[in-house]
Amino acid sequence: MKILGVSAHYHDSAAALVVDGVPVCAVQEERLSRRKNDAAFPLSAIEWCLDRGRLEPDDLDAVVFYERPMLKFDRILTCALRAFPRSWRSFPQAMKSSLGEKVWVRGVISSHLGVPAAKILFTRHHQSHAAAAFLTAPTRRAAILTTDGVGEWATLSVGHGARRDDGSVAITQLREIRYPHSLGMLYSTFTAFLGFAVNEDEYKVMGLAGYGQPTMVDKVRRLIRPAPDGAFELDLDYFEYHTTAARSYSARFVDLFGPSRNPYEPIDLETSDGRRWADCAASVQRVLEDTLVGLARSLRAETGLSDLCLGGGVALNGVANARILAESGFDRLFVPSAPGDAGCALGAALYADRVHFGNPDREVPDHPFWGPEVDDSELSRVASEDGQLVDRVDEAALVEGIADDLASGRVVGWMDGALELGPRALGHRSILASAASTAMRDRLNRDIKFRDEFRPFAPVVPLEAADRYFELPPGGMRLARFMSGVFTVRPEWRAQLGAITHVDGTARLQALDREMSPRLYALLEAYGRRTGVPVLLNTSFNLSGEPIVNRAVEGYSTFLRCGIDVLVAGNTRVTKKTRPQVSSSTEASTFVGSGS
């Protein structure tokens, strides 16, 4: 059975193909269109998936959309009605946005792919999150907690999943918390208040939290309070996201927390405003963690299960994940590589296969590499044409050479195999560097990533060595598989791991399994032989504001625009010789003319 999953229209659209119960491929539209968080209908992603599966649209048994568009429209319209007459400004915008394309998903899919409408199915948004979390996790039975900004109406759901002995699968969602009461929206409101981009920069709030003290927890608790039945509810007087599209927090919110940060002003932690913003971030982070831990603890008590699958955009919060693992009573916590909406494309397809069509469960490969493969001949061609130093070497020599580069302080753009699904670079489209010094962190922020100096970098370490450098609780290895947890760097190693140790002594580490990425594993070993510490800084291969690179030529253009010293794609290695330098004065036209 061939099933295509699609997520689109809000943020991070994607497509995934499942054939005979096993994922074949999945890719986010942004990686192909090169527009970060591309929310457009993912036509390029769908075409690539069908090409990869060597299928025509007619061959598909079903196309599954990751949510129910009319139910979502119901929520948008109902909220506009409830906020009458304050919603008069946002109403036209909401209607135009929804009625343009978003509610006609069946027709859009049918017209783009030419598949009959009867083949188009819909899951609920949190059903897709739950399926993406549970059906990709190597567990037989698990509790499931999904939480994000909002789906149709649900913002958080709890339930459980089971793989039965007869091969059938059950995913049971027990109950949900509904919009406008939302943990994701609470966090996003602070994201906006702190001058960051909503639905994109929430991780910056988490990073900033490390610099602050949770001195405003009591104030944040005025915004979110426990409901009598163990759920939570927001005091909506502090918010405006449910009534207007212009601003997510109200004047009362500003009265409580002070003026918001102007997005164009840098954060200076030496100033009182800078400290206030860091404290705000630390406080909302603490409240988010406490709330999630409380919910997870209740779910553990209710289900008696030892595994928890976590899905939804909030599951990208590695600090909260680590606390859930440590304090909720669950032994293992599974977070997929793409817990946000992009992963819903895969979740929706798997849900349709296992639950709607009732197909027997199949083991899903436990890796995030579902995207296009890198073509090293492409890199070789373009770099040679530009007169760069290009070497094609065998794998062993390449790994040893790159280990030498890293040990001598060079920064390496690393492209290997298939692209990751999800926001983390997990070793196939990464920028690698020595993790030893804070100078390297500063260099990467300043010359390569062009981003705020408070942003931390993540480490990658062989699975077997992780416990030596990081304080991992039981189950921590699993959480670190896809870089989903933030853990403490052992104090005795912090001086030697300055580039990846955050100001609060933590790091969002990836514990690398040899089978998952053998070449990077070999590189870590080779680097460890040289330096004695097999830990590398691993950050996504992109520049600020751009999606992670996909093709070799995209890696090459990124390599030329920043301070990366060496670029690797497959067995091809390029050492930076020159950057394209053309003066913008009159002699430029001479250069142009001479090249023609």
Q: Does 270 bind other proteins (CB under 8 A)?
A: no
Closest approach of Cβ 321 to other proteins, in Å?
23
| Strand pairing class (566-569; 412-415) | parallel
Binder among 24, 40, 55, 71 for other proteins (CB under 8 A): 71
Q: Does 162 bind other proteins (CB under 8 A)?
A: no
Q: Does 108 bind other proteins (CB under 8 A)?
A: no
Enumerate residues 379-418 that contact other proteins by CB under 8 A: 382, 385-386
Q: Does 93 bind other proteins (CB under 8 A)?
A: yes
Could you tell me which stretch among 183-191, 315-323, 458-466, 586-594 binds other proteins (CB under 8 A)?
Answer: 586-594
Closest approach of Cβ 139 to other proteins, in Å?
22
The tokens for 504 are 């609060």
Enumerate residues 343-362 that contact other proteins by CB under 8 A: 352, 356
Binder among 54, 255, 259, 532 for other proteins (CB under 8 A): 259
Dist CA 543 CA 489 (whole Å): 27
Enumerate residues 6-35 that contact other proteins by CB under 8 A: 33-35
Dist CA 427 CA 520 (whole Å): 7
Residues 506, 488 contacting (CB under 8 angstroms): yes
Q: Does 95 bind other proteins (CB under 8 A)?
A: yes
The tokens for 219 are 């104030």
Q: Does 532 bind other proteins (CB under 8 A)?
A: no
* Count of all residues that appear for the chain in the document: 596
Binder among 251, 389, 503, 592 for other proteins (CB under 8 A): 592
Q: Does 557 bind other proteins (CB under 8 A)?
A: yes
Dist CA 199 CA 4 (whole Å): 25
Q: Does 300 bind other proteins (CB under 8 A)?
A: no
The 434-463 contact track toward other proteins, x by CB under 8 A, reads ------------------------------
Could you tell me which stretch among 212-220, 258-266, 363-371, 494-502 binds other proteins (CB under 8 A)?
Answer: 258-266
**Angle at alpha carbon of residue 252, lines to 246 and 253, rounded to 5°:** 70
Residues 94, 245 contacting (CB under 8 angstroms): yes
Closest approach of Cβ 485 to other proteins, in Å?
27
The rounded Cα 25 to chain-centroid distance in angstroms is: 17
Q: What is the DSSP string of 183-210?
A: HHHHHHHHHHHTT--TTT-HHHHHHHHT
Closest approach of Cβ 262 to other proteins, in Å?
5
Beta partners for residue 506, in sequence order: 488
The tokens for 339 are 């817990």
Q: Does 177 bind other proteins (CB under 8 A)?
A: yes
Closest approach of Cβ 468 to other proteins, in Å?
41
Query: Residues in contact with other proteins, total (CB under 8 A)?
Result: 76
Residue owning tokens 């659209």: 13
CB neighbour list of residue 234: distance below 8 Å, 6 or more residues apart = 180, 181, 182, 185, 186, 223, 224
The 120-159 contact track toward other proteins, x by CB under 8 A, reads -xxx------------------------------x--x-x
Residue closest to 51 by CA, chosen among 20, 21, 24, 22: 24
Dist CA 128 CA 184 (whole Å): 17
Measure the CA dihedral 385/388/394/399, to 10°: -140
Q: Does 174 bind other proteins (CB under 8 A)?
A: yes
Q: Does 264 bind other proteins (CB under 8 A)?
A: yes
Closest approach of Cβ 196 to other proteins, in Å?
12
The 72-91 contact track toward other proteins, x by CB under 8 A, reads --x---x-xxx-xx--x--x
**Angle at alpha carbon of residue 368, lines to 404 and 31, rounded to 5°:** 85
Closest approach of Cβ 431 to other proteins, in Å?
18
Closest approach of Cβ 44 to other proteins, in Å?
8
Q: How many CB atoms lie within 10 A of CB 94?
A: 18
The tokens for 165 are 């002995």
Closest approach of Cβ 557 to other proteins, in Å?
5
